[in-house]
A and B are shown apart, each in its own frame.
Chain A
Amino acid sequence: MDQSLDQSKEIKKVTQWHLAKRSFQRHWQLYILMILPVLYFIIFKYVPMLGAVIAFKDYNVVQGIIESPWVGWKHFENFFNNPVAWDLIKNTLFLSLYQLAVTFPLPILLALALNEIRDGIFKRSVQMFTYAPYFISTVVIVSMIILILSPRSGIVNTLLEAIGLDAVNFLGQASMFRDIFVWSDAWQITGYSAIIYLAALAGVDKQQYEAAKIDGATRLQKIWNVDIPAIMPTIVIILILSVGNLMAIGFEKVYLLQNPLNLGTSEILQTYVYKMGIINADFSFATAVGLFNSIINLILLIIVNAIAKKVSGNGLW
């Protein structure tokens, strides 16, 4: 028994080696082509992963990443001993959970609604116009928000004044920042995000609709019992991916929407990392905060994936 096992292992090793050799002889030009992209990933993705060790060092430019002295958890302690830390964590979590709660279900609703109506000019127009904002840049979206909500000449305040209300400085109020951020995001990405669900809906077996019709199901029952189960795997995957991006989402837009008056709610971990690291050049401290952010993100992803697998049998891995 043992011998034959050893033998089969041996054979496997030999065949592996053989396969590799044959593949290399046959595709050696492709392997050479791949050197460049592989180098790209090593330099711009893997080196920064290793470079994150400066979170545990006192990085200075003269000594570089390797020579700079180790300081253990100093930067993490400094961060958590700063009262600001908890505000940042709270702001980051509130903003991303609010965003998830709005931008995750809306595309599903849109896709289900579009799936109900007949192909034609109306359906095509809805699709075309709802996708469009996705292609507008963050800078332009934020400029539009600022112009439209401007306390002096913005259209919203003009309308408020026309009906006898006082003008509101929307962006100057910390309490409104989250609403502005989340709903403008919903405005921009709902249509585009619906595409993937529409594709899943297009794949539903037509016989199921026929069967539902013969059973006298109403449209709502049909959506509930045929459509939603059919797109459930897609919903789960998108949910996991969204949670995986929870702590990273929209940071470039948050930064542009910030002003001194709304910082109380608009300062999040990522914008803080940028300010501490790039503007103040406090590299090690900023890396520590960024690392903390990425680790929370990774833990969230693992938890959601585990839950999803248990509940629905679908997971990313």
Chain B
Amino acid sequence: MSSKNGTIKESSNDRVFLTLIYIFLSILMIVILYPLVYIVSASISSPEAVTSGQVWLWPVDFSLEGYIEVFNNSDVIRGFRNSILYTIGYTLIAVFLTVIFAYPLSRKNFYGKTFFMIFILITMLFYGGLIPEYLVVQQLGMLDTPWAILIPKAMAVWQIIIARTFFYTSIPEELVEASEMDGCSSIRFLWHVVLPLSKPIIAVLALMYAVFQWNSYFDAMIFLRTEELFPLQLELREILITQSESGANQDIAEQQKRQQLANLMQYSLIVVSSIPVLIIYPFAQKYFVKGMLLGSVKG
């Protein structure tokens, strides 16, 4: 980019400056990576080594006891399964709703599109609040059902804007007109022409919605009571935060061995729960970047 092998030589000042930039970026990378490496290393070390603080960078006394403990925990397995189902269901619903809303808004002669844009932008400025939203879910009888996870957050304004921008720039008006000449209905056109041409944007939307759902805990915490319905993040909160030493109960009596294993399991659990996101991360990174850029083209 701005790197130059041009005719004018870099001054020594610039070389110093560039070196400082490399040092700054290297430190930043280490600071960001270290906690991640530490957690992974601890998760594959022995319980004693972790608790006694021998692990600081690389694994000590390699062992998979933490992972065995995780996979023997039926709550975790159930939460994992629930989260997969919620994420798939939610993503399907959210992408469907976003596409059928964003596509019409991208058409040139679609009467009322300014009205609909203002209609959704208002919801970004004014927020009813946590309690009124809770009461709506309650009134609809969704409390303590999977619907409370799947429906209330099913659309995001930002995602609609991204999708609209994509349709606007990549589905030319001439294509619509040509299909209308051939007597193709709007819905058929959307299904057979627009969708196949929109795979990149559908991937962006699906990844954004899926990561959001996989990582969220708060709605589940306020809307769900039945443990069988809990998603993974809520189980994690139970195991990792509510039950762990949160500073409040610092010198509690304990059976050492049991405690050590429970401690180790927390590290393994963090790794296991992040695996699905880590698997899609290489794709996600590219698509998230794309999505962010699309959104910023036109606000």
Contact = CB atoms under 8 A, between A and B. Distances in A.
A86 interface: no
Q: Interface residues of B: mostly helix, strand, loop or mixed?
A: helix
B187 A147 contact: no
Nearest to A282: B131
A157 to B, nearest CB: 8
Given A117-B21, A132-B281, A133-B32, A196 B270 contact: no
A116 B100 contact: no
B247 A126 contact: no
A213 B6 contact: yes
B84 interface: no
B240 interface: yes
B141 to A, nearest CB: 13
A150 B28 CA distance: 23
B32 A51 contact: no
A180 B129 CA distance: 27
A138 to B, nearest CB: 7
Given A278-B134, A283-B131, A30 B107 contact: yes
Interface string B184-213: 011100100000000000000000000100
Contacts of B133: 44, 48
B236 A143 contact: yes
A65 interface: yes
A191 B129 CA distance: 30
Contact of A153 (B50, B273, B293): B50
A130 B97 contact: no
Given A29-B187, A147-B266, A137 B8 contact: no
Contacts of B55: 155
Contact of A290 (B100, B130, B185): B130
B266 A117 contact: no
B132 interface: yes
B125 interface: yes
Interface in B137-163: 140, 151-152, 154-155
Q: Interface residues of A: mostly helix, strand, loop or mixed?
A: helix
A235 interface: no
B296 A33 contact: no
Nearest to B207: A135
Interface in B20-46: 21-22, 24-25, 28-29, 31-33, 35-36, 38-39, 42
B88 interface: no
Nearest to A143: B240
A228 to B, nearest CB: 14
Contacts of A129: 29, 32-33
B128 A316 contact: no
Given A142-B241, A151-B245, A256-B237, A172 B299 contact: no
B104 A27 contact: yes
Closest 9 CB pairs of A and B: A48-B128, A158-B53, A172-B247, A23-B111, A51-B132, A137-B215, A290-B129, A37-B101, A48-B132
Given A65-B135, A139-B240, A147-B244, 12 more contacts: A20-B112, A23-B109, A24-B111, A51-B128, A117-B25, A126-B25, A136-B277, A138-B217, A143-B236, A155-B55, A277-B131, A294-B129
